[in-house]
Structure 1
Amino acid sequence: MTASRRHLPRQLRPELEHDLSRSPTLGYEPVAETGVIRCLSHGFPTPLARWHYHDEYELHLIVATSGKAFVGDWIGQFQPGHLVLTGPRLPHNWLSTDLPGGSVAERDLVVQFAHEPIAQAAVHLPELAEVLPLLERARHGIEFFGLAEQARQHWQRTKANRGLARLSAFCAYLCELAACTDYRLLSNAQLQGVDDDHSADQINAVVSRITEQLGQPLSAAQMAAELGMTESRFSRFFRRATGNTFTDFVNRVRINRACQLLMESDRQITDICYDVGFNNVSNFNRRFLDIKGMTPREFRRDVDHRFGGRH
């Protein structure tokens, strides 16, 4: 490595993908041939395999090789059949680590689509509203299980058609995903929904308090008192709304924030630990390992690979 290269700052943020960069030579369909649904297939290695984000949702099916996937602050393994839906502006990348021949001609089968056309159509077509919860979950990345072959067939039908026939094939794809119950969210702290507007306002106020005051000590007893509830009632209410105990939820939000700081800054791990609200490094390391499956140091080491060696 040259001296000038050594002093270049590390690239920490994902690239924004613009329409101008979506050349047919890279596998994109010509804009004139598509509507709001764009199909893409490509192999690996490719300039498209980079840490990036865009304004569209992306349905991403891996059909060859295995390696390491990066979706937001989630890091995990992928193999053929790996199917993920990412939401708008959620950074992602897939890097193959087993390439016996040095390259593969087709690894990724992708569908990209925009939010507004679906949201606006759902106002007039109640049937489309069925997919809105799916799209809400996609803001954090969804990995689906057991749908590899169906996903390949849906992609092929969507790719083979144009106009109304393409829309029909794509809606069938979305319908199957919306009905799938075997999935996991790739981000950690998620609201699961509550029964009425008042409860939603209450839980949103609590979550906002947690996220805005991560460095402050927070307890279930304190939150319960502010909402005029007993601690036991608050605990049941909070768990029903978030799927977590109050302590677990706070820890997950703090670890998520730590992941963001580890990814987007060169700050010392100890400083990050205290900044997100943990009062000792040992506890921070334990909680981080429980939630992410690796230590903060290992996480920082791994996230450097999301650029594919291009930083």
Structure 2
Amino acid sequence: MNTVFREVTPLSNKDCFMIFSREKTEFTFPIHTHAECELNFIENAAGAKRIVGDSIEEIGDLELTLIVNPNLEHGWTNHNCHSKEIKEITIQFHRDLLNDQLLQKNQLCSLREMLQRANYGLTFSRGAIEQIKERLYSLYSEKEGAHSVFKLFGILYDLSLDTSMRELASPTMESDVKIYKSRRIEKAYNYMLENYSREIHLSDVAGLVGMTEVSFSRFFKKRTSRSFVDSLNEIRLGYATRMLVDTTTSVAEICFACGFNNISNFNRIFKKKKGCTPKEFRENYTESRIFL
């Protein structure tokens, strides 16, 4: 399989970060990856499509997404956007700008957790975006010197306090379940990731972690904010979307290979979670890619 376009950014090892501001009439850059972390702000582009890993969503008039995974494919396409006054600010920084030793400090725990979650790509609530929007514009106009770095730290920290931030790509894109701070949750997720193609019952996983079904179900929902069934379906859909993107395997074959018991159930769950059918997802993703 060909690889997706990998961007080489102008950020040098001597720079703390780079910031770009542009006004444009359309989105033309293809789905891509890059080594650097990226905070991307978009204004006046309601109806455009955001693609991050296996997540495809239509955005509103304010958009802010954080990507820190160097292998996570992402991009924006015109879709239903008719605006000719799109504003975009992109900040790119090295992952070690906030090194592990610094992030272990108690005062930065929310920032550490946000960066862990951003391995899947994060989108932020409208309230959080409105809070820091003018600071992003100000940062662009004062991008030189150490004060600009401290301003960026302040923006990232305030975003880390957004209780409504949301992960985009599914867990299959980056198998990092330690963000839930629970060995039982980690063990349950690893079991589902390893056995998603087989029939899995709640009793199987509950027994694995030494809990009753009722207790585990409540514990799982409290720690992950998702039900066991939703999480299992999310994992299976994650593998399904990768196969839709990276292979020519038929939808029916993908359905059964990913643990769904019939094609109608697969189509129903897929459309409910992704907003389109598996066939439409494949077509939407393929048309936005460029291959080397």
**Does the pair score TM above 0.5?**
yes
The alpha-carbon deviation at position 280 of structure 1 amounts to 1.0
* Partners of 1:58 and 1:111 within 8 A in 2: yes
Q: Is the 8 A contact 1:72 1:187 kept in 2?
A: yes
Q: Provide the residue aligned with 2:58 in structure 1.
A: 77
Report percent identity of matched pairs: 26
1:57–1:86 Cα contact (<8 Å) kept: yes
1:296 equivalenced with 2:286 (yes/no): no
Asked if structure 1 preserves the Cα contact closer than 8 Å seen for 2:45 and 2:62, the reply is no
Structure 2 counterpart of 1:6: none
Aligned match of 1:131 in 111, 118, 143?
Answer: 111
3-state SS of paired residue (2:287)? helix
Aligned mate of 1:14, from 4, 7, 10:
4
Structure-2 residue corresponding to 1:186: 168
Match of 2:265 among 277, 283, 286: 283
Letter of the 1:71 counterpart: V
Match of 1:110 in 2: 90
CA distance in structure 1 between the aligned counterparts of 2:50 and 2:2, rounded to whole angstroms: 17
- TM-score of the pair, normalised by structure 1: 0.80
RMSD: 2.8
Is the CA contact 2:66–2:121 (under 8 Å) kept in the aligned structure 1?
yes
Q: CA deviation at 1:268?
A: 0.7
Distance 1:100 1:212, change over 3 A: closer
Aligned residue number for residue 53 of structure 1 = 33
User: Which of 175, 184, 192 is the equivalent residue of 1:202?
Assistant: 184
**Over residues 199-243 of structure 1, what are the superposed CA-to-partner deviations in whole Å (9 max), with x where a residue is unaligned?**
x22221221111111111111112222333222122222222322
| Matched residue SS, 1:76 | strand
Please state whether the residue corresponding to 1:112 is helix, strand or coil: strand
- Residue 44 of structure 1 deviates from its aligned partner by 4.0
One-letter amino acid of the counterpart of residue 81, structure 1: L
> For residues 4-60 of structure 1, what are the alpha-carbon distances to aligned partners after superposition, in whole Å with 9 as ceiling and x for unaligned?
xxxxxxx864222224xx3xxxxxxx749x622111123447897111011222111
Q: Structure 1 residues 69 and 139, CA, compared in 2 at 3 Å: closer, same or farther? A: same
Partner of 2:16: 36
CA contact (8 A) 1:64 1:107 kept: yes
Verify: 1:222 aligned to 2:212, yes or no. Answer: no
Cα 1:221–1:65, aligned 2, differ >3 Å: closer, same or farther? closer
C-alpha separation in 2, matches of 1:48 and 1:56: 20
Shift of 1:125: 5.4
In the alignment, which residue of structure 1 is the partner of 2:242? 260
* Alignment deviations for residues 140-195 of structure 1 (CA, whole Å, 9 cap, x no partner): 12211234444332223322132311111101211220122233222345958556
Count of residue pairs the alignment pairs up: 283
Which residue in 1 is equivalent to 2:49? Answer: 68
Q: Do the aligned partners of residues 95 and 44 (structure 1) sit closer, same or farther apart at CA in structure 2, a change above 3 Å counting? A: farther
Q: 1:203 to 1:128 in 2, by over 3 A?
A: closer
Structure 2 counterparts to residues 144-183 of structure 1, below 5 A: 144=124, 145-159=126-140, 160-183=142-165
Maintained 8 Å contact 1:191/1:243: no
SS class of match (1:82): strand
TM-score (norm 2): 0.85
Rounded to whole Å, the distance in 1 between the matches of 2:185 and 2:92 is 33
Task: Report what 1:87 is aligned to.
Answer: 68
**TM-aligned CA deviation for residue 251 of structure 1:** 1.0
Provide the C-alpha distance between the structure 2 equivalents of 1:12 and 1:207, rounded to a whole number of angstroms. 30
Higher RCO (C-alpha 8 Å, min separation 6): 2
Question: Could you say which structure has the larger radius of gyration?
Answer: 1
Partner of 2:224: 242
CA shift digits 1:117-155 (9 cap, x unpaired):
302451585434431111112111221123444433222
The runs of 5 or more residues in structure 1 that have no matched partner are 1-10, 23-29
Specify the SS of the correspondent of 2:127: coil
Q: Is the 8 A contact 1:121 1:128 kept in 2?
A: no
Tell me the distance in 2 between the aligned counterparts of 1:12 and 1:239: 39
